[in-house]
Amino acid sequence: MQIFGDYHTHTTFSHGKGTVLENAHAAQEMGLKELGIADHGFGHILYGMDKRDLPKLRAEIENATAQTGVRVLLGVEANFISPNGDIDIAPADIEKFDFILVGQHRFVKARFADKFGFLLPNILGIKSKKMREKNTQAIIRAMEKYPIDAITHPKHGMAIDVLAVAKKAVETNTMIELNASKMLFSREEISQMINLGVMFLISSDAHHPEKIGCVENMLKVVKEYNIPESQVANLNKLPTFKRKKL
Ligand SMILES: [Zn+2]
Ligand SMILES: [Zn+2]
């Protein structure tokens, strides 16, 4: 049992420690067929990548593919920026990426009204019923609006209704990440998601080349929680992305 691709990895284009080529070499050593570079979206205040760097990033990705034989893809870990499902990648920019991951992060740029009603309560860690509803709506509406491939670390640091998100994920063909850096789900949540037909994506969320493909703990979760192999998109096979060029 192994993953064929690790699609949530960071580089020096945001706050990862390795270059694209270093990540690709690490992926090659781990025997991966594909590697996704998914640096933080443009709207992340601390670590967001610079939109102007995209052509350079694409060139480095092509070079890394040629040098290592690992197929490197250009993705992004975008941010939810409002309860209405807005993300920090404009529709016109979506086509620049091979795949889109979106996660909830605290320090992102947002419209004035959303700063106080949405971001600040999350920064402060408020897990009220109202914030739970807002966060859940943010994810659900984003899945309706954008061709999102996977939701990264749902539930991390913020309250959400896991089942409501999972239902919409199945409906919109969006994967739910099993993040090797953060185990977020209870056994019961995993089993409910299996029953709903959720497709999971295992990833390392590596911020250092050494961590690429290190997902042993999630392979253990798959085994212990009886997640069917067919419900893990990158287990013993390659996943299909909505925007992946064939
Ligand atoms: Zn993240
Ligand atoms: Zn990440």
pLDDT tens digits, one per residue of 153-163: 999 988 999 99
Cα of 42 from ligand 2 centre, angstroms: 13
Give percent of the chain above pLDDT 70. 99
Cα of 158 from ligand 1 centre, angstroms: 12
pLDDT, residue 112, reads 83
Domain annotation covers residue 32: yes
**Ligand with smallest separation from the Cα of 76:** 2
Q: Regarding beta strands 150-152 and 175-179, do their DSSP bridges make them parallel or antiparallel, or are they unpaired?
A: parallel
Domain annotation covers residue 222: yes
Cα of 198 from ligand 1 centre, angstroms: 20
Cα of 38 from ligand 2 centre, angstroms: 7
Mean pLDDT of 99-120: 90
164 to 70, 100, 205: CA distances (angstroms): 36, 21, 24
The pLDDT-based confidence of 137 (bands split at 50, 70, 90) is very high
What is the distance between the alpha carbons of residues 101 and 146, in angstroms, rounded to a whole number? 11
pLDDT tens digits, one per residue of 23-76: 999 999 999 999 999 999 998 988 899 999 999 999 999 999 999 999 999 999
pLDDT, residue 35, reads 98
User: Cα(first)–Cα(last) distance of the chain, in Å?
Assistant: 25
pLDDT tens digits, one per residue of 188-242: 999 999 999 999 999 999 999 999 999 999 999 999 999 999 999 999 999 999 9
Domain annotation covers residue 211: yes
The total number of structural domains in the chain stands at 1
Domain annotation covers residue 243: no
pLDDT, residue 246, reads 43
Nearest Cα to Cα of residue 148 among 139, 158, 156: 139
pLDDT, residue 181, reads 93
Nearest Cα to Cα of residue 146 among 181, 125, 174: 174
Cα of 13 from ligand 1 centre, angstroms: 14
- Which range of residues forms the domain containing residue 101? 5-231
Cα of 101 from ligand 1 centre, angstroms: 9
Domain annotation covers residue 236: no
Cα of 239 from ligand 2 centre, angstroms: 19
Domain annotation covers residue 240: no
> Structure pTM?
0.96
Cα of 72 from ligand 1 centre, angstroms: 20
| pLDDT over threshold 70, residue 10 | yes
| pLDDT over threshold 60, residue 119 | yes
Written as one string, the DSSP assignment of 50-68 is PGGGHHHHHHHHHHHHHHH
Is the Cβ–Cβ distance between 83 and 122 less than 8 Å? no
Cα of 163 from ligand 2 centre, angstroms: 22
Domain annotation covers residue 18: yes
Cα of 9 from ligand 1 centre, angstroms: 10
Q: How confident is the prediction for the chain on average, in pLDDT?
A: 95
Cα of 59 from ligand 2 centre, angstroms: 22
Domain annotation covers residue 130: yes
Q: What CATH number does residue 99 fall under? A: 3.20.20.140
Cα of 39 from ligand 2 centre, angstroms: 7
pLDDT, residue 245, reads 53
What is the distance between the alpha carbons of residues 153 and 184, in angstroms, rounded to a whole number? 7
